[in-house]
Structure 1
Amino acid sequence: MQEVHGYPARARQFFIVLLPILITQISLMAPGFFNTVMAGHISKEDLAGIAVGASIFFPVFGAFMGLVSGLTPVIAQHYGARQTRKIRRVVQQSFYWATLLAVFLLVCGVLTVPALVHALHLEPVVERITMEYLSYIALGLIPVAPAIVLRNFIDAHGRTRLTMYITMTTIPINIVLNYIFMYGACGIEPLGGPGAGLGAALSYGVFLVLNSIVVLRIKQFARYHVFARLPRPILGDWWVLLKICIPIGLTVFCEQSIFGAVGLLMAAYGTTVVAAHQAAMNFTTIVYMLPLSVSMAITILVGFEVGGGRENGARAYIRLSRVLTLVFVGVIALGLAAMRDSVAALYTTNPEVQELLRVFLLYALVMQFCDCVNAPLQGALRGYKDVTVTFWLAVLSFWGIGLPSGYVLAGWTELGPFGYWAGLNGGIIVGAVMLMIRLRIIEDRMRRAKMQSA
């Protein structure tokens, strides 16, 4: 990653950063896709069990990853300013608080999740599958904590291709492990849906090993010596980092927990609706990887430009990202709209689930158009380290507008369970408008500050 000028050069650097992130994110979603497909072909109960388990685990897991991803703009700005010693200190202190947070989340899950699952009044077989799945996958929180710190350390240097290779190596291992444990192979008894949780937990350990090897072996990262002479924990450093990271993590939690909450509310409509909703959500999550990857790339590029005092370059990258995301997502969504029947058949052979899934997929595609406006704006604001207001806007758009309006549409109109998706789409649109206004305020503030210092 280097300083460039002009839209052709910026577009080239934008894609150099973006494409590996996109491949990485799609690869990260691949196990979830295969888990859903494999569970759907075992039984609708296994699919529903994974759906409920994922609705509980992944909002928390996503928030945790989002929280640690706050390191990216911090490290990117230090890298842009060539502050090597500060980067090492950030990474080393983050090992401590990220691992402790993972342990805390694991303990909280043990104390609260069983009561939560029981309160959903699921069918007994679905409740059993859910609890077994969660008990397995939760074990992966411990190794994934330092692994995510290392991943953001690598990404902040613009070496997103490395994390792509790491992920592309981990994912096939994950899929093979899931198949072994779900269907039974190599002399192992089949576990059904819960096997996906065990396979994921083991793959998180592989992910940590591969990231560690890269940081130890590649000269650009080895020179930081992040594993050598670990310093004592410095709580003051933790607080400085967490003031940036916590709002980002909470913002991700607001986004992902809203979908988890909807998934749990779908339980009231029965196993068939839950299964169809899970398949549609899995599908839309895969398509969402494009705007999400743009958001992550823009965070890196804007942080690098701002750290180097080049606000005009930051604004140019932001404009570029918004146009390209809208074009690409539009083309992909329209193409996939014509393939709804094939997508539904891929996820399940149950005709009742397929019929509902076709309708859910229409709402899912509308959501992608909303996200392609929202996500790049969030990434840009994170690049400026403007995270607190972004968090409160996420709370308002998802929990203040999206879920309440979805609840009303689902309960008091003929939309039924589809009302939740309609409400979420409305909340995302409102959130995008508010983020656009906030970005304009931040850009004007930066422009005035530069004029005053000149």
Structure 2
Amino acid sequence: MSQLNHHKANAWQAWLPEARASLRLGWPLILTNLAQIALLTTDIIYIGRLGADALAAGSLAASLYHTFMIFSMGLVSATIPMLATTLGKRRNAVREVRRTVRQGLWTAILICLPAWTILWHAEAILVAMGQDPVLAAKSVEFMHTLQWALLPYLGYIVLRSFLAAMEKPAWTLLVAGSAIAFNALAGWLLIFGHWGFPALGLAGAGIASTCSSTMMFIGLALVLKRHRRFRRYHLLGNLWHADFTRLSELWRLGLPIAVTFTLETLVFYAAVIMMGIIGTTALAAHAIAMQIASISFMVPLGFGQVATIRVGLAAGRGQPQGIRRAGWTAYGMGVGFMAIAALVMWIAPNTLIGFFLDASLPANQEVAALAVQFLAFAALFQLADGAQAVCAGMLRGLHDTRIPMLFAMLGYWVLGVPIGAFLAFVVGWGGVGVWLGLATGLTIVAVLLTSRWLTRIRHHSLYFIGAKP
């Protein structure tokens, strides 16, 4: 019995430091994720005050922009596992870190050029997708000022990746928090025309977001330039130095991440398209429910980032037990939070919806009632959404990105979207069918990714970076 108690004590001694390290790294990352989504959430809240039509048009523009932003962010996010592994090995860390960050910034510029060109033609794209031409025309008022936020935002993501891999993410939280306050004020001034500013409506929301993203990049750049711990890396010096070897490594790892992010995002965008076909009321209600679900998702997303960093550091040091502890600790924290989020969505949907829409107004009551239904189905997939987000981060820490990409394709597009479309248009369940399809796809991906992780940690030969999955 004493040996058993001693074994349990040793197990706790191994896991508790990991839990503390994950929480210490995780809470600034989570709050930073919440801060980032708060930028777009603030815009949506303000736009909702302009009416249901403006909210629907803003939702279309935001969804299309978000799709390109997510792909681009996935691409530059490859800097996180690369940096974590480098710092775990501690060999030529300064030079290797500098190479990775610089090529992350190169990647941001390279991907923005085609993205800007496509987003400029958002109206034609939305009409071709079957959206209401009036709403499509109105959506570009937002898009043509929002799209320029992409480059500074990606630059911010690259610099944030460095600070996260250094396990010093508090600076990103400080900068993002300042940007939220600025965006709230700028949006209030430019959307509604307070204090003598012109009332620009949707266009004002985009201008506020672009200025806020620029502020975030400049803020982190100043931190890295002036802080004595970070300036020795000289991350922003000689930025135009070509390094095609490291650039190709980043793209080789980042493209599957980008495709995976995009496949998941396009599922939700496909839901927006289907809601637009169903009607403006369904589209507006979906925008509210999806925004609430997106906010809760930021927590497991943060723990997924923690998992990438902690697993990557352990992999760089060649510590299989450390890899296992880092992964499962983040997994338990992320999924546990989503269980709480699901409960809140079940018991207090009207309170959550009230932040986005005044349900007491007769014109908004139909939208609010439908949003309550959608939020109930959002609660169904919270656990699965959290599991797949964290588990994907765990696998990225092992540089395992190709197989998860295939899982995403199968779960989201071979099964999830077709099931949602069938239930919505063939069975006749409308928006409810769309949400059931989302829940199905997320659950399938969560199960597959968790199985993949179990396979990886069973075979110790696959722990080391560079082993073939």
TM-score (norm 1): 0.94
Give the corresponding residue for 2:361: none
1:98–1:5 Cα change, 3 Å: farther
> Which residue in 2 is equivalent to 1:93?
103
- Cα distance change of structure 1 residues 81 and 274 upon mapping to structure 2, 3 Å threshold: same
The equivalent of 2:255 in structure 1 is 246
Q: What code does the residue aligned with 2:25 have? A: V
Give CA deviations for 1:338-391 in whole Å, capped at 9, x if unaligned.
111222233223111111011011011112121122111111000000001111
Contact 1:406 1:422 in 2 (8 A): yes
> Cα gap change, 1:223/1:368 in structure 2, threshold over 3 Å: closer, same or farther?
same
Report the Cα distance in structure 2 between the residues aligned to 1:49 and 1:125, rounded to whole angstroms.
9
The residue type equivalent to 1:101 in the other structure is I
TM-fit CA distance, 1:104: 2.2
Letter in 2 for 1:78: T
Question: Which runs of structure 1 show a deviation greater than 6 angstroms over 4 or more consecutive aligned residues?
Answer: none
Distance 1:300 1:429, change over 3 A: same
User: Which residue of structure 1 lines up, in the alignment, with residue 422 of structure 2?
Assistant: 408
Residue 143 (structure 1) shift = 2.2
The residue that corresponds to 1:17 in the other structure is 25
Two-structure CA RMSD over aligned residues (Å): 1.9
Match of 1:78, SS state, is: helix
Aligned residues: 447
Distance 1:153 1:244, change over 3 A: same
Task: Choose the corresponding residue for 2:303, options 277, 294, 306.
Answer: 294
- Partner residue of 1:332 out of 312, 328, 341: 341
Partner Cα distance (2:131, 2:257) in 1: 33
Q: Report the Cα distance in structure 2 between the residues aligned to 1:328 and 1:237, rounded to whole angstroms.
A: 37
> Is structure 2 residue 113 aligned with structure 1 residue 103?
yes
Percent of aligned positions that are identical? 27
Question: For residue 332 of structure 1, what is the amino acid of its counterpart?
Answer: A
User: Structure 1 CA distance, aligned partners of 2:131 and 2:394?
Assistant: 41
Greater alpha carbon shift after TM alignment, 299-308 vs 405-414: 405-414
**Aligned match of 1:319:** 328
Residue 226 of structure 1 aligns with an amino acid whose one-letter code is: L
Deviation per residue, 1:384-438 (Å, 9 max, x gap): 0000111111111111111011111111224212111101111111111111221
Determine if the alignment matches structure 1 residue 81 to structure 2 residue 89: yes
- Paired residues of 2:456 and 2:462 also in contact (CA < 8 A): no
Aligned residue for 1:351?
Answer: 365
How far off its partner does 1:243 sit?
0.4
Give the secondary structure class of the aligned counterpart of 1:347.
Answer: coil
Distance 1:340 1:448 in 2: 44
Is the partner of 1:228 in helix, strand or coil? coil
> What is the rounded CA distance, in whole Å, between the counterparts of 1:416 and 1:108 in structure 2?
30
The aligned residue for residue 56 of structure 2 is 48
TM-score (norm 2): 0.91
Range with bigger deviation, 439-448 or 272-281: 439-448
Q: CA deviation at 1:5?
A: 6.4
Structure 1: segments with no counterpart, 5+ residues: none
State the Cα distance separating 1:448 from its structure 2 match: 6.8
Kept in 2, the 8 Å contact 1:397–1:428? The answer is yes
Query: Where does residue 27 of structure 1 map in the other structure?
Result: 35
* SS at 1:189 equivalent: coil
Alpha-carbon spacing, 1:306–1:275, altered in 2? closer, same or farther (3 Å): same
Task: Verify the 8 A CA contact 2:407 2:449 in the aligned structure 1.
Answer: yes
Shifted more, 190-199 versus 167-176: the winner is 190-199
Write the distance in 2 (CA, Å) between the matches of 1:420 and 1:116: 22
Query: Would the aligned equivalents of 2:263 and 2:408 in 1 still touch at CA under 8 Å?
Result: yes
Counterpart amino acid of residue 128 in structure 2: A
The partner residue of 1:263 within 268, 272, 276 is: 272
